[in-house]
Amino acid sequence: MLEILSHQYLKNFLRDQSINWEHIYSFGRIISKCIENNSTYLINSEIFSSYDWLSPILISLFLKEEDSTFILSEEKIEYIKRFQIDLLKNLGFNFGLKNDQLIFANHHVRLITIKGLLNDPNSLSLRNHRIVYSGIEDIKQDLENHFRISLLKKDWRRNSKEFELINQKFIKVYDSLKKKFFSRKLLGNNYIKLDDKEISFFSSFFHEYSFFSDKFLSIDKALYQGWACWVKLNHINLDWNLYLQPIDELSQIKEFFSNNKFVFLSVLRKDNFFQMYLKKHSLEIDLVINFKSNFEEKKISLYIPSKQLLPNNPLFTNSILDKCKNLILFRKGLTLVLSDDIDLKNKLATELASKYGKRVLLESIPAGENEILCSSFDWWITNSYLIQIPEQIIIPLLPIPNMLEPINSITVSHKKKLSQDWFRDFFLPQARLKLERSISPLRKNSGKLVILDGRVNKRNWGRLLLQNIQPSKQINYMLPFD
């Protein structure tokens, strides 16, 4: 019944709208069917980067007289409040809006960001609640940001007379550890990996003084649960900070996923990462559906130059610089150069600027045409919706996670102890996810993707990454490069 009714309402809604998505009615029926039968669906589509998909979900949630939660970005919440509320009321829906809740006579629909939901203890204790979760492709990063604890130097003091003596004691402990940590610093690395003895000391210390502050109590609980912990040195202020993060962030809210009913929405063309992510925790999805977006999907022009060097070759950096200069020569439109290696990214930007001048930008929004933008994968993914589609994307290094990042090295050590394939189970899925999200705009203009990392041809996993770039067509030369 909900499927038929929501279709009728959607049909009336779209009469005066200019939404050009041929699958919108099918999408609406799928959503209403999922909500009606209490199943868990994963729906993948690049349409979720737009606003055209919101109305079918809202209509189904409005018609289902059951409290529900709709997780989405702040921008989309504001769009709904500014542009969709009045249109939906014109269909005959009678509701009020208060604190981002759409309040009906018999139920309410809450609009909330994932950050807001994770910070609300009442939300995480929900049971048998219907939740539509958009932006699921960012779940790992969102959970990491939420659970990460940082203990700064200022957190070792409390501005109160009753804590004056304990403040002095803590500063002595802090300074003693500072000497120890700075003496162990390695050239080019600001991180200190803690050994078992140091972790044991911190466990005892924060357990004994957990009453001192909420931050100390949180650290005590985190260390008891075996979270990863490390130290970062600050050479400017000559101080250090302690960081903690769960090795398996999803385990922290597994119960929340088990106890509720979900519709997961991923902006990826096909989100294999999230399925695998849930499966490791025995969390099952009833049905996975892929929808085409509202643009004609074109094949990405994939170019892999022959005789590429491996990143560990001493000549690799200079080779990359020469190739990038040649690849940009005579090119029109935006050229995007992606690298998560900070040193390589900065060096590329500097060298290219010496040749092409103000056309070269470092993680800045382009204002003109024919510009050259150098950025990290994460920066591009976050800001790509503000930037024109590149004519070509050059990837000097595949986005394999960096072992110098403490959480990565600690996670690898943990997986080794469990005899797990840490590279294929941990590193490779993250690289594939980043690569997929970074190159997706090229499907709109059949733009060129150039990968200069020799591992893409010389490693089995590199060839696997190439096979997952779909749809694509391989080109054998690019003038004047060849």
* pLDDT tens-digit readout, 213-227: 999 999 999 999 999
Q: What does the pLDDT look like over 155-188, one tens digit per residue? A: 999 988 888 899 999 999 999 999 999 998 887 7
Q: What does the pLDDT look like over 297-341, one tens digit per residue? A: 999 999 998 888 999 999 999 999 999 998 998 788 999 999 999
Instruction: Yes or no: say if 32 and 60 are a contact pair by the CB < 8 Å rule.
Output: yes
Q: What is the 3 state secondary structure string of 406-462?
A: HHHHHHHHHHHHCCCCHHHHHHHHHHHHHHHHHHCCHHHHCCEEEECCCHHHHCHHH
Whether residue 245 has pLDDT greater than 70: yes
pTM for this predicted structure: 0.93
Output 331 or 196, whichever has higher pLDDT. Answer: 196
The reported pLDDT for the residue numbered 481 is 52
The amino acid at 372: I
Average pLDDT over residues 250-264: 95
The reported pLDDT for the residue numbered 430 is 92
Q: Whole-angstrom Cα distance, residue 60 to residue 65?
A: 10
Name the pLDDT band for 240 (thresholds 50, 70, 90). Answer: very high
Instruction: Yes or no: say if 163 and 155 are a contact pair by the CB < 8 Å rule.
Output: no
The reported pLDDT for the residue numbered 237 is 87
Average pLDDT over residues 421-450: 94
Query: Which 8-state DSSP code applies to residue 84?
Result: I
Average pLDDT over residues 90-115: 97
Dihedral sign of CA atoms 283, 286, 290, 293 in order? negative
Q: What does the pLDDT look like over 15-26, one tens digit per residue? A: 988 899 999 999
The reported pLDDT for the residue numbered 477 is 76
Q: Whole-angstrom Cα distance, residue 72 to residue 110?
A: 10
Name the pLDDT band for 480 (thresholds 50, 70, 90). Answer: low
The reported pLDDT for the residue numbered 161 is 82
Q: What does the pLDDT look like over 363-411, one tens digit per residue? A: 999 998 899 999 999 999 999 999 999 999 999 999 999 998 999 999 9
Task: Work out the percent of the chain whose per-residue pLDDT is above 70.
Answer: 99
- Helices (DSSP H) in 184-213: which residue ranges? 196-208
Tokens 């409390």 belong to 158
Closest by CA position to 57, among listed 83, 27, 78, 37: 27
Average pLDDT over residues 244-268: 95
- C-alpha pair distances (Å), 324 with each of 27, 137, 309, 379, 451: 42, 30, 14, 20, 11
Output 162 or 233, whichever has higher pLDDT. Answer: 233
The reported pLDDT for the residue numbered 411 is 94
Q: What does the pLDDT look like over 47-64, one tens digit per residue? A: 999 999 999 999 999 999
Whether residue 121 has pLDDT greater than 60: yes
The reported pLDDT for the residue numbered 331 is 83
